[in-house]
Amino acid sequence: MRLLFLGDIVGRPGRTVVCDALPGLIKRYTIDFVVINGENAAGGFGITEAIFNDLIDAGADCVTLGNHAFDQKDTLVFIERHDRLIRPLNYPKGTPGRGATLLKAKNGADVLVINAMGLVFMPNLDCPFRAIDAELTACALKHGADATLVDFHAEATSEKQAMGHFLDGRASVVVGTHTHTPTADGRVLPGGTAYMTDVGMCGDYNSVLGMDTDEPINRFLTKIPRGRYEPATGPGTISGFLVDIDDATGLATRAEPLRQGPHLNPAIPDV
């Protein structure tokens, strides 16, 4: 099977480029399953139900979140209605929503998607390593799920790399999100897990992490907020990770970055 993961959607530029391009990407690459991180989709902070539905209509099979999961307060309610929208697994017990979901791919495979948040320079949640380990023990690769994707929403590259090696051979794909900057280390690890430290964002890269540059620069210079962070409004770039998975083992055989749009060098995988 073939899986596509798209990095954090930031504001309208990210939503527009993804919703416009995703149907064509699915057709061109014959993609069986699409996961998108949508935690910055609503003005850079959180997600709304309407935006979630737009992403599903465009072809997403699952939408993951992160530290901005509940910035839009309505998410506390509507997340309970959607098994295709998941927040980090290691939020405290009783947090609305779920941190993992098992969904059908277009080829009939059962795909387990897990979302977890790192601890280094991030909110103090439960241990993501133990939380994911428990989930994979309960629904192991080829003994409950035909493929498994982990979206690890974390700041520190060391923590993400440690997670990749911790899960190597137990998950089909481990991808990092949150820093909005694509890394150059997309590959298949020795045990067969496709890994990339950060997939990057879907948004306007003529920005500071997808935001208009004025307020971030002001805060670095003065340490005094002058206004809200607002998403940059230029054309968006798609940044993702395309993975081929062996149906017999559930492990990756190919892993390549996929980027198209302005500001970054393109990465266009062969069909």
Q: Catalytic positions, please?
A: 68
Looking only at the bridges linking them, the beta strands covering 85-86 and 62-64 are: parallel
- Can you say whether the dihedral through the CA atoms of 202, 66, 46, 34 is positive or negative? positive
**CA 164/CA 154 separation, integer angstroms:** 12
**CA 175/CA 191 separation, integer angstroms:** 15
Contact 177/153 with Cβ under 8 angstroms? yes
**SS3 state at 163:** helix
Which amino acid belongs to residue 28?
A: R
Q: In sequence order, what DSSP letters do the residues of 119-144 get, joined into one string?
A: -TTS---S-HHHHHHHHHHHSEETBE
Contact 107/61 with Cβ under 8 angstroms? no
Sheet strands (E) in the chain = 2-6, 8-9, 33-37, 62-64, 85-86, 100-104, 110-117, 140-141, 144-145, 147-153, 173-177, 187-188, 194-196, 201-202, 238-245, 252-260
Q: What count of Cα atoms within 13 Å lies in the side-chain half-sphere of residue 35? A: 35
- Can you say whether the dihedral through the CA atoms of 59, 260, 187, 177 is positive or negative? negative
